[in-house]
């Protein structure tokens, strides 16, 4: 399979959140079938439908030869390597959360995975970092760019860009 463009969302609200995101980025960069193209700044974000403290979030653009389900499974394996238990359930605090947001213009749905991510267009903590690296990325179901989705968003949760935090040691 040829390399395809995908966008990921990263988040952490347990422990050293910045260290957790940087570790996830390092581990992603070590996967032979993944090439990180760009990483957003880190954003401090108010929790949405989640327990625990504020999150650090980021977005990553990558190229991958993995199809969507294998990419998602690799992300789950990375989460477990970093220390995220599977049994804690949705909304539980997490050391790391890695989500496939978009995968080219694919629309994909099965019991385990939905692409585009089913709630991304409703969440400022996803759209702000994604706009930084890909404002023109296209949501194939809604027919809008990330920039347009953000302009239409009614989510009032706070999202603060951290100027001192850049993914991959300042490389963007």
Q: What is the pLDDT of residue 168?
A: 53
Pairwise CA distance, residues 138 & 150, whole Å: 12
How far is residue 119 from each of residues 48, 62, 71, measured CA to CA in Å? 11, 20, 19
Q: What three-state secondary structure class fits 85?
A: coil
Q: What is the pLDDT of residue 90?
A: 67
CATH number, residue 94: 3.30.70.560
Mean pLDDT by 10 residues, the chain (172 residues): 93 95 97 96 91 92 95 95 72 88 94 94 97 98 97 93 64 38
* Residues classed as catalytic: 84, 94, 97, 99
Q: What is the pLDDT of residue 107?
A: 95
User: What are the φ and ψ backbone dihedral angles of 167, each rounded to 5 degrees?
Assistant: -65, 155
Q: What is the pLDDT of residue 94?
A: 86
pTM of the entire structure? 0.91
Q: What is the pLDDT of residue 25?
A: 97
Which structural domain range is residue 120 located in? 4-170
């Amino acid at each position: 399979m040829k390399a395809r463009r995908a966008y990921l969302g990263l988040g952490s609200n347990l422990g050293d959140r910045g260290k957790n995101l940087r570790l996830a980025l390092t581990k992603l960069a070590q996967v032979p079938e993944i090439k990180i193209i760009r990483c957003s700044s880190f954003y401090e974000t108010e929790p949405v439908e989640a327990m625990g403290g504020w999150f650090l979030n980021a977005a990553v653009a990558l190229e991958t030869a993995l199809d969507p389900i294998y990419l998602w499974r690799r992300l789950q394996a990375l989460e477990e390597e970093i220390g995220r238990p599977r049994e804690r359930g949705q909304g539980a605090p997490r050391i790391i959360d890695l989500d496939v947001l978009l995968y080219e213009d694919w629309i994909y749905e099965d019991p385990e995975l939905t692409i585009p991510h089913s709630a991304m267009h409703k969440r400022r903590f996803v759209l702000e970092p994604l706009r930084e690296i890909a404002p023109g990325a296209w949501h194939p179901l809604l027919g809008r760019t990330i920039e347009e989705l953000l302009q239409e968003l009614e989510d009032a949760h706070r999202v603060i860009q951290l100027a001192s935090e850049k993914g991959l040691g300042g490389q963007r």
